[in-house]
Amino acid sequence: MTRPSGRMPDELRKIELQINVNKHAEGSCFIKCGDTHVLCTATVEEKVPMWLKNAGHGWVTAEYGMLPRATGTRVDREAKKGQSGRTQEIQRLIGRALRAGVNLKAIDGLQIKIDCDVIQADGGTRTASVTGGFVALYLACQKLLRSGKIKTMPIQQMVAAVSCGICGGVPVLDLDYTEDSNAGTDANFVMTDKNTLIEVQGTAEHGAFTPDELTQLMNLAQKGIQELITKQKEVLSI
Amino acid sequence: MTRPSGRMPDELRKIELQINVNKHAEGSCFIKCGDTHVLCTATVEEKVPMWLKNAGHGWVTAEYGMLPRATGTRVDREAKKGQSGRTQEIQRLIGRALRAGVNLKAIDGLQIKIDCDVIQADGGTRTASVTGGFVALYLACQKLLRSGKIKTMPIQQMVAAVSCGICGGVPVLDLDYTEDSNAGTDANFVMTDKNTLIEVQGTAEHGAFTPDELTQLMNLAQKGIQELITKQKEVLSI
Amino acid sequence: MTRPSGRMPDELRKIELQINVNKHAEGSCFIKCGDTHVLCTATVEEKVPMWLKNAGHGWVTAEYGMLPRATGTRVDREAKKGQSGRTQEIQRLIGRALRAGVNLKAIDGLQIKIDCDVIQADGGTRTASVTGGFVALYLACQKLLRSGKIKTMPIQQMVAAVSCGICGGVPVLDLDYTEDSNAGTDANFVMTDKNTLIEVQGTAEHGAFTPDELTQLMNLAQKGIQELITKQKEVLSI
Amino acid sequence: MTRPSGRMPDELRKIELQINVNKHAEGSCFIKCGDTHVLCTATVEEKVPMWLKNAGHGWVTAEYGMLPRATGTRVDREAKKGQSGRTQEIQRLIGRALRAGVNLKAIDGLQIKIDCDVIQADGGTRTASVTGGFVALYLACQKLLRSGKIKTMPIQQMVAAVSCGICGGVPVLDLDYTEDSNAGTDANFVMTDKNTLIEVQGTAEHGAFTPDELTQLMNLAQKGIQELITKQKEVLSI
Amino acid sequence: MTRPSGRMPDELRKIELQINVNKHAEGSCFIKCGDTHVLCTATVEEKVPMWLKNAGHGWVTAEYGMLPRATGTRVDREAKKGQSGRTQEIQRLIGRALRAGVNLKAIDGLQIKIDCDVIQADGGTRTASVTGGFVALYLACQKLLRSGKIKTMPIQQMVAAVSCGICGGVPVLDLDYTEDSNAGTDANFVMTDKNTLIEVQGTAEHGAFTPDELTQLMNLAQKGIQELITKQKEVLSI
Amino acid sequence: MTRPSGRMPDELRKIELQINVNKHAEGSCFIKCGDTHVLCTATVEEKVPMWLKNAGHGWVTAEYGMLPRATGTRVDREAKKGQSGRTQEIQRLIGRALRAGVNLKAIDGLQIKIDCDVIQADGGTRTASVTGGFVALYLACQKLLRSGKIKTMPIQQMVAAVSCGICGGVPVLDLDYTEDSNAGTDANFVMTDKNTLIEVQGTAEHGAFTPDELTQLMNLAQKGIQELITKQKEVLSI
């Protein structure tokens, strides 16, 4: 079997992370995973959501959007029709993933919002959002620390994400849109630099998959995510 | 460690499935998993959604709701504020799970809608909806077959679901609300009577989990789901 | 003339009231009027609506919903399309009816919300909601009194409701769906155990009705409502 | 007892009906009942609603609105917040009332929409809308007949409406806002020129009312409505 | 060229301004510009919008609406479908125009809302709303001054508006609907009694226009607006 | 007076136009006017809007959005709260402006949608959208022509836009955010390569402006727009 892109089964797409791309945001990262391009910005707000008043810790949340023509066929603007179930599901996932890397007590009184906007899509937008969003979040935390608004660095572990799937019977890493559309099984993994899992979501699009296959996908994801975390650290110079 | 309910780590809650509880629906099942009670009804519509016109197959979809006082604290009615992201995420999951058990070509021209309404909640409402909803779906398919509207039984495998989690460091099966609120890791599994996976969703609510822990949860789920499928078969007399 | 159900013109459907059916609610009643089944739950909130601040009295309100397949033909979920005018009209009626039985000063600082959810419909869902909802409300008031949160029982009179109509020229009591669809005139009555009226809503669906006919319907309603109130008192042991 | 306006208990407010006040509408009537002013316009559409296709008859419907400053305290514009339950309830009542006067078979293929917009409010806006709206409807029917688009006059009986109430223990006709706010019981009647009832809606705002009191209100309404119908006929020259 | 109405190119339609037409509003003006009729009411609220707290000045805002049958073809009620982009654009324009005439510091702590509701439309509804709305605003300010709630008259200059356009190659003043539909270029001007501009909005509906043509339209507008301001002053007796 | 940026009064910001930046769109242009960055994509749909069926010509429309952190203070995502009046006003302006450059008959049966999404904002986002959007539109038309789907080039004149304003008493070209916030008068101009006007919108934010001042702003705009059109032609190689 050959992948449409010619990649090896355990090979990531070309990854680029550009930081500080937005003059207004407290942190920002433009992530390119092949032809999937996501702009991630971090906004620090000096208040927490109502339901968190006096809880003794701050909050990290995420929002996700796609430009109408990020995809092959134009999609109606959500500003006109409201956020779809898919969008809400994705941004809830990104928020949970990012929070897992942060000691929320260290940002008590603050909320950090990560906006992930897909400029161009070619599969894997939600995992790219986690990986790029975490960099924007890291930068915002660093800025808070430097400004003296917080006392300790709230980042407690690095977080990144990737999708894997079974294409033509072969487990492969980092699906692009063509692979994603044809995969029998598709799974998204969010992991830390300690090789532990934050989230796994596996779905049989056609048929079903065995526990063994899930283990194989998990192994691929582990390899890919450690590479992504290496990239994150490089661009953050840590 | 003792579970709040006194159950063994690999013990399901008391399960009851009552069928044909609604005089109007083409299939119905009232499922009780301990104090979690969900009414599942199947509606057969003799047309498919617009985007499926002439696709050569039918469709199965699900909707999920909760009565306002199904929970300890009353929740505002979604009819007044719109469906939350959580609701949409859950009903998308139920729909995918149910479709995995059906040969959609065998219901060409038809759509079957499964409504899962939580009458009382005590954890695990989405997995109870899958298990009970599949029974309602089965009954509706049976009725279609008997009426001659379809030629072959569209059910190709049985589908059921359960949640597992790590509570106080111990992997346990079928979380109730108290356990769910305190679990460090929480995972929902949808599986078939062939012991294959349709969907897995694991989340670290606090900290992270190891690949090994995921495997342990998967083993518990396998045991629980086979018991649930036995119950489904009993009530369906198959 | 024979009624489709074989009932006498002044005969109610079989009525069943089950109380304390929900483990979370402060009061609950599942009412069956023939094949019309409504689950009524009472929620006590220890605050009043904004517009009632410092008014010297509490509030009772009601919400009404129908499961999508409560009816012969499935109805789209209001969570997806918002509450219809019909739903809002019905829940306003239920709220007014229930408040008429309560001394609101006796629940100053509190709001009691009665949720009436139709599990299965066969005509007369709004009147069943009033009759069952009043039982849930009574139970919640009793619980408040016992807990010492209020000083005196706020219930000042019993309230129940029934529909009547003119079918085939004959005034009949407690219409089921078949009769309701064919009635020339249809009227809903809310009355007290003192034989006084709280609300009357009579509508000519076809043609018109005379003042005399309205009087005949009112007499039937009086008889039916006193029977319903007897049932309420039995189940409440008062 | 003296009424705030000095009127006799069975005395209507000063009624004025101006017809053909809108250059675009197929029929129009500006009705003044004392300080309650409602502009009613009729629009004829040469198609019926989707759900009435091939039913063999046409349709009459009504919509109701209030200018934001029609009332003593400005009310937020419904265009900004959506139609309230009260608005929907009122426009459903007006629609039923108007349809009762029309032979819908005579307008097969057509829909007539009556818009009732309250320019200034002083109580009784819904009953004024019925009375004025019926005149606009009559004019539109007349125009259809004259143009040859329909063969026979669809108006089968005249329809008008009025409110009555018990104020300070005395039954009175045609409540203005001051009376309406203080009435213990309030009832709206829609009747025909044949002294028959189309709709009655009686509500105890405080306490309850007896069947006898309802009869007294009905008698007042009968008197008032016949006077209103005389005014309608005068302005229509019939 | 002859205008459809027979007017001269620089001739306004017949203008009528009736004041104090609403018994509830703090100021009101019913403006007729030919067959365009707009009811303008002013409401004084003794609080400012949230975002203006402690800003040291009050606020003036406007809302715009159209009765469904104000136009030749009935338009769906915005209460049912929400405010269109056109409506929001118009009411933002009216608000800006009115504020330009007011010293907001003189109404610190107050908000004045001007509602402009089109009763009948024949072109130029937004400019009529500005001209009539300013009269309602003036009256409300006068009332505030007389009641002692403010110390100085906040009106600092008179404001009125008119549209001009190029029809059949000829620049004309105050377009009616027929002209507006056929104009190649259409421009709205808001000006003061000092001959200065508050707002100009010129649009080429077909083709384009030259800077010279814009100047010609501006000259026509100046003439028309001074006539409108004369009318405003007459009716206000200033 | 010195401008904050040090520019001359008649000096544009640094302008960059990058074309074909999106792999999916039929035409695309990323425009940078100083720190204002807008991504414009063109989508060709092979059908016209419903209301244009059989009108003998196609359509061009525009949509406008802003990423939440395009601005100094994060703005709530319109997908969550709906499009604001400001957004709708802007996208209506862009649509009118672009249509003015196109012979719609030459694209009969087609609709071209231009999406203008602000990636970073520093004043003048609507005029940048017109200038960049026109380039994306041009490219889409070119592609249609080359593919043989249309017979003649539909672009009949070049269109670009710029804002001008009076800052500190001095008329200046191409306001950035700092200038825009402080300008007494602010005007947007849309013009063609023939020096004619498509649209002018001038507003006095404080005080008022004279007809002479409008003329001065128009002269500045003319100069700036011809420079912008030169840039457009360069990047399009025409």
**Residue D56 · residue E153 · CB < 8 Å:** no
H-helix or E-strand containing F90? helix F85-99
Confidence class for position E153, pLDDT limits 50, 70, 90: very high
Q: Which tokens sit at E186?
A: 């259409």
Q: Above 80 in pLDDT, residue F1?
A: no
Q: Which residues of D186-222 are buried (b: 16+ CB within 10 A; e: fewer)?
A: bbbbbbbbeebbbbbbbbbbeebbebebbeebbebbb
* pLDDT higher at A60 or D182: A60
The verdict on a CB contact (< 8 Å) between D202 and C204 is no
Name the 3-class secondary structure at D200: strand
Q: What pLDDT does E157 receive?
A: 96
Determine what percent of chain E falls in helix, strand and coil, rounding each to the nearest 5.
35, 30, 35
The verdict on a CB contact (< 8 Å) between A67 and F24 is no
The answer to whether residue E75 neighbours chain F at the CB level (below 8 Å) is no
List the single range of A140-144, B11-15, C205-209 with lowest mean pLDDT. C205-209
Q: What pLDDT does D36 receive?
A: 98
Chain F residues close to E201, C-beta within 8 Å: 199-202
**Residue D202 · residue C200 · CB < 8 Å:** yes
Q: What pLDDT does D205 receive?
A: 77
In this structure, which amino acid lies at residue C158?
Answer: M
Chain A residues close to B62, C-beta within 8 Å: none
Cα dihedral sign for A203, A207, A212, A217? negative
Q: Please give the span between the terminal C-alpha atoms of chain F, in angstroms, as a whole number.
A: 38
Q: What pLDDT does E102 receive?
A: 97
- Give CA–CA dist D217/D200, Å, rounded: 10
How many angstroms separate the CA of residue D92 from the nearest CA in chain E?
14
**CB contact residues (below 8 A), chain A span 3-32, against chain B:** none
**Residue A156 · residue A101 · CB < 8 Å:** yes
- Give CA–CA dist B138/B154, Å, rounded: 9
Q: What pLDDT does B121 receive?
A: 98
User: Which ranges of chain E would DSSP assign to H, the alpha helix?
Assistant: 78-81, 85-99, 125-146, 177-182, 211-236
Rounded mean pLDDT of chain A? 96
Q: What pLDDT does E1 receive?
A: 65
**Residue E200 · residue E97 · CB < 8 Å:** no
Once rounded to an integer, what is the mean pLDDT over residues D104-133? 97
Once rounded to an integer, what is the mean pLDDT over residues E103-131? 97
The verdict on a CB contact (< 8 Å) between A197 and B215 is no
Of F176, F78, F82, F68, the closest CA to residue F119 belongs to F68
**Residue D1 · residue D168 · CB < 8 Å:** yes
Neighbouring C-beta atoms of residue B18, cutoff 10 Å: 14
Q: What pLDDT does E2 receive?
A: 84
In this structure, which amino acid lies at residue C101?
Answer: G
How much of chain C exceeds pLDDT 70, in percent?
100
Q: Which tokens sit at A160?
A: 């990144």
B85-125 confidence digits (pLDDT tens): 899 999 999 999 999 999 999 999 999 999 999 999 999 99
C5-53 confidence digits (pLDDT tens): 999 999 999 999 999 999 999 999 999 999 999 999 999 999 999 899 8
Cα dihedral sign for F193, F196, F199, F201? positive
Angle between helix D211-236 and D125-146 (nearest 10):
40
Phi, psi of A59, deg, nearest 5: -150, 150
Q: Which tokens sit at F64?
A: 């406008």
**Residue A38 · residue F119 · CB < 8 Å:** no
The answer to whether residue F113 neighbours chain A at the CB level (below 8 Å) is yes
The verdict on a CB contact (< 8 Å) between B208 and A214 is no
Neighbouring C-beta atoms of residue A15, cutoff 10 Å: 20
Chain D residues close to C209, C-beta within 8 Å: 196-197
CA distances to A30, C82, F39 from C125, rounded to whole Å, are 56, 19, 55
Whose tokens are 């809650």? That residue is: B13
Size of interface D-E (CB pairs under 8 A): 88
Q: What pLDDT does E184 receive?
A: 87
The answer to whether residue E88 neighbours chain F at the CB level (below 8 Å) is yes
**Residue B96 · residue B130 · CB < 8 Å:** no
Confidence class for position F166, pLDDT limits 50, 70, 90: very high
- Give CA–CA dist A192/A159, Å, rounded: 5
A150-190 confidence digits (pLDDT tens): 999 999 999 999 999 999 899 999 999 999 998 889 999 99
CA distances to A118, F29, F39, F40 from F114, rounded to whole Å, are 17, 10, 10, 7
- Give CA–CA dist D88/D204, Å, rounded: 21
Size of interface C-D (CB pairs under 8 A): 97
Q: What pLDDT does D53 receive?
A: 87
How is B108-157 classified by DSSP, letter by letter? TT-EEEEEEEEEE-SS-HHHHHHHHHHHHHHHHHHHHHHTTSSSS--B-S
The answer to whether residue B49 neighbours chain C at the CB level (below 8 Å) is no
Rounded mean pLDDT of chain F? 96
Q: How many degrees, rounded to 5, is the angle at CA C183 between CA D42 and CA D51?
A: 45
E99 sits in the region (left: phi over 0; alpha: psi -120 to 50; else beta) called alpha
- Give CA–CA dist A15/A220, Å, rounded: 17
Q: Above 90 in pLDDT, residue F32?
A: yes
> Under 8 Å CB-to-CB from D175, ≥6 apart: which residues?
D123, D124, D163, D164, D165, D167, D183, D186
The answer to whether residue A82 neighbours chain F at the CB level (below 8 Å) is yes
Q: What is the DSSP pairing of strand B185-192 with strand B197-204? A: antiparallel
Q: Do chains C and D touch (3 or more CB pairs under 8 A)?
A: yes
State which residues of chain B have pLDDT below 50.
none
How much of chain F exceeds pLDDT 70, in percent?
100
Q: What pLDDT does B53 receive?
A: 87
- Give CA–CA dist A166/B66, Å, rounded: 36
Q: What pLDDT does C207 receive?
A: 80
Chosen for mutation from D18, D24, D63, D69 (greatest number of chain E CBs closer than 10 Å) is D69
The answer to whether residue C75 neighbours chain D at the CB level (below 8 Å) is no
Q: How many residues does chain F have?
A: 238
E44-80 confidence digits (pLDDT tens): 999 999 899 889 999 999 999 999 999 999 999 999 8
The answer to whether residue C105 neighbours chain D at the CB level (below 8 Å) is no
- Give CA–CA dist D31/D69, Å, rounded: 18
Chosen for mutation from E57, E201, E212 (greatest number of chain F CBs closer than 10 Å) is E201
D29-72 confidence digits (pLDDT tens): 999 999 999 999 999 999 999 899 889 999 999 999 999 999 99
Q: What pLDDT does A206 receive?
A: 78
- Give CA–CA dist C169/C189, Å, rounded: 19
Q: Closest CB to F69: pick one of A24, A80, A82.
A: A24
**Residue B70 · residue C101 · CB < 8 Å:** no
- Give CA–CA dist E158/E142, Å, rounded: 14
Q: Above 70 in pLDDT, residue A1?
A: no
Partnered with residue D201 across adjacent β-strands are C201, D188
**Residue A128 · residue A36 · CB < 8 Å:** yes
Of C110, C129, C115, C146, the closest CA to residue B120 belongs to C115
D156 CA to centre of own chain: 17
Q: Above 80 in pLDDT, residue C138?
A: yes
Alpha-carbon dihedral angle through residues D13, D19, D21, D23, given to the nearest 10 degrees:
160
**CB contact residues (below 8 A), chain F span 137-176, against chain E:** 157
Burial bucket for residue A179 (CB in 10 Å: 0-12, 13-18, 19+) = buried
The answer to whether residue E39 neighbours chain D at the CB level (below 8 Å) is yes
C90-108 confidence digits (pLDDT tens): 999 999 999 999 999 999 9
Q: What pLDDT does C1 receive?
A: 65
Q: Do chains E and C touch (3 or more CB pairs under 8 A)?
A: no
Q: Do chains A and D touch (3 or more CB pairs under 8 A)?
A: no
Confidence class for position F3, pLDDT limits 50, 70, 90: very high
Q: Closest CB to D83: pick one of E69, E80, E87.
A: E80
